[in-house]
Structure 1
Amino acid sequence: MSAPTSNPQGTGVFSPTRARIKQRTLRTDAWWKSPLITDLGFAAFVIYATVRAFLQNNYWVADYHYLTPFYSPCVVKWNAATQSGCIPEASHFGQYLPDVWWLPYAAFSLPFLLLFRLTCYYYRGAYYRTVWQSPTACAVAEPHAKYTGETRFPLIIQNTHRYFFYIAAVISVINTYDAILAFRSPTGFGFGLGNIVLLVNVVMLWVYTLSCHSCRHVAGGRLKHFSKHPVRYWMWTQISKLNTRHKLYAWITLGTLMFTDFYIMALAAGWFSDLRFIG
């Protein structure tokens, strides 16, 4: 018996054990639009957030105590000689890290927030298609020879999502504290458009965090008898309602984070003044 003919393309749907179809896909619709739009949305946020994190300026409005979430908590030591590092008034939780150009001022929070979103169940589904290409779209050839799920590096890191959820919840508390401190003016209590921007961002961050699948599991995932735990069952049902729109909240919070940071940056840079209602 002659040996089976090897397939030079031998990966994914072109592997020897799959149906021998030469075309990458038989679909006639614009299947590539959805992954392309997702990629562009992710790229816009990543580029903006990276640039802003390393600009290391225009993150604090002293008159109203506005602190952008991209710099919270601000933990890099202030250097009076070079006028760099976290402004002391903006460091609500102390200063611990050295002032070096490659270290973001919010180095205690940004890496964990990135990992929380990177391992998020919705974001996994999105970038598995667009970046990891597994699969790019339904009935579209993928470049991987076989499917290993999340059992090997790097995708095995996804199993740490539940731990990043706890850290993200703590950081949401910090952002809430920052938003409360921002109700100030040079003369005392104050309220302006910046406060509304900060509050909307904090609320949406909490909605996104609490609608997380891990939060839902923490609330009631291990319960065998809901009737014996009415409080946790009620929490589980409310989180489940939020969870149905987790994808929507994931995208909304990317937008509110960028808008909040941009608004505070513009105020700090003096591009325009905050619209004040009180104070």
Structure 2
Amino acid sequence: MASPVETPTPARSRARISARTLRTDRWWIQPLFTTLGLATFVVYAGIRSFMRSGYWAAEEHYLTPFYSPCISDSCVPGSAHFGTPLGELPGFIPLAFLSLPFLLGFRLTCYYYRKAYYRSIWLSPPACGVAEPHAKYTGETRLPLIVQNAHRYFFYVAFVITLINTYDAIVAFQGGFGLGNLVLLGNVVLLWCYTLSCHSCRHVTGGRLKHFSRNPVRYRIWTQVSRLNTRHMQFAWLTLASLMITDLYVWLVSTNTISDLRFIN
């Protein structure tokens, strides 16, 4: 007589580890440094976005990316590269309110950043072989994590904003050529590397193709994007650093704290 087929019992909770950790190495170092790195950028960018000073170096035509695009009457003369269709803004609204929410959404929903703050801040999981504090996992199917599914749409807007940052870097050459121009250009190059190495960009360029041989141009683009995609984590961190360095440089030059090194006036 054949034995009845047993139906596996579905798991009702996450995997349990009786010990606090099975690791003997310093597994907590990476989550700690990841948290400190992300917190440093969030605090710095948050303060600078609301300062409303030191964001435009008039003589050199340097505009920090934290204030681009500036499109209200609250912007200092010269910093509004696309005009001022809006009136004065109250102090609790950042001057770059048009771009900052989308850039924040793009970063928060980024596949790499999800991994970074899931493991380091939410401890889900903090590391292999380490017990996590969460009893269950519902996935990205409920609020607020269901918003992660909008990453592709944030990518489209981030692409446009990167174009705007590129325009800002080009406009800066109207004031001549100095060290700040190299800083702005370096930041734009890294922003393009991060934006184009995005998983959504890879999907847009070739994710829906069934026959690469019939689409050689898109296949070539997809191949190049795929190469960038392997460095997406590095570009994610490099752009955080370049954004802060660029903003700090413009801040110091615009407030006459330092002088811009000029090559061509």
Specify if TM > 0.5: yes
Q: TM-score, normalised by structure 2?
A: 0.92
45, 52, 55: which one aligns with 1:59: 55
Residue 243 of structure 2 corresponds to which residue in structure 1?
A: 257
In the alignment, is residue 90 of structure 1 matched against residue 79 of structure 2? Answer: yes
Q: For the aligned residues, what is the CA RMSD?
A: 1.4
Mapped pair 1:48 → 2:44: yes
Match of 1:209 in 2: 195
1:176 and 1:97 map into 2 onto residues whose CA distance is 25
**Which stretches in structure 1 are left out of the alignment for 5+ residues?**
1-9, 78-84
Whole-angstrom CA distance in 2 between matches of 1:234 and 1:149: 34
Alignment of 1:171-186 (within 5 A): 171-185=161-175
After superposing the two structures, state which structure 1 stretch, 131-140 or 235-244, moved more: 131-140
**1:119–1:92: structure 2 CA closer, same or farther, 3 Å change rule?**
same
What is the rounded CA distance, in whole Å, between the counterparts of 1:164 and 1:98 in structure 2? 27
Deviations 1:182-202 (A, max 9, x none): 0023xxxx1000000000000
- Which of these residues, 70, 78, 100, is aligned with residue 66 of structure 2? 70
Native 8 Å contact 1:12 1:141 kept in 2: no
Deviation string 1:228-259 (CA, Å, 9 cap, x unpaired) is 00000000000000000000000000000000
Query: AA paired with 1:251?
Result: W
1:8-49, Cα deviation, whole Å (9 max, x unpaired): xx9754xxxx46x2x211211111111000000000000000
Is 2:264 the partner of 1:278?
A: yes
For the 8 Å contact 1:72–1:109, the answer to whether it is kept is yes
1:99 has 2:125 as partner: no
How far apart in 1 are the matches of 2:88 and 2:31?
40
User: SS of the residue aligned with 2:263?
Assistant: strand
Residue aligning to 1:7: none
* Alignment counterpart, residue 253 of structure 2, candidates 258, 267, 275: 267
- Cross-structure match for 1:221: 207
Quick one: which amino acid aligns to residue 67 of structure 1? L
Is structure 2 residue 162 aligned with structure 1 residue 166?
no
State the alpha-carbon separation in 2 of the partners of residues 12 and 259 from structure 1: 42
Q: How many residues align?
A: 253
Distance 1:168 1:67 in 2: 18
What amino acid maps onto 1:99 in structure 2? L
- 1:109-258 matches, within 5 Å, as 109-185=99-175, 190-258=176-244
How far 1:140 moved relative to its partner? 1.1
Distance 1:102 1:161, change over 3 A: same
Unaligned runs of 5+ in 2: 1-11
Give 4+ residue runs of structure 1 displaced > 6 Å after superposition.
none
SS in structure 1 at match of 2:173: coil
TM-score (norm 1): 0.88
- C-alpha distance in structure 2 between counterparts of 1:11 and 1:136, whole Å: 17
Deviation at 1:88, TM superposition (A): 3.0
CA distance in 2 between counterparts of 1:12 and 1:39 reads 24
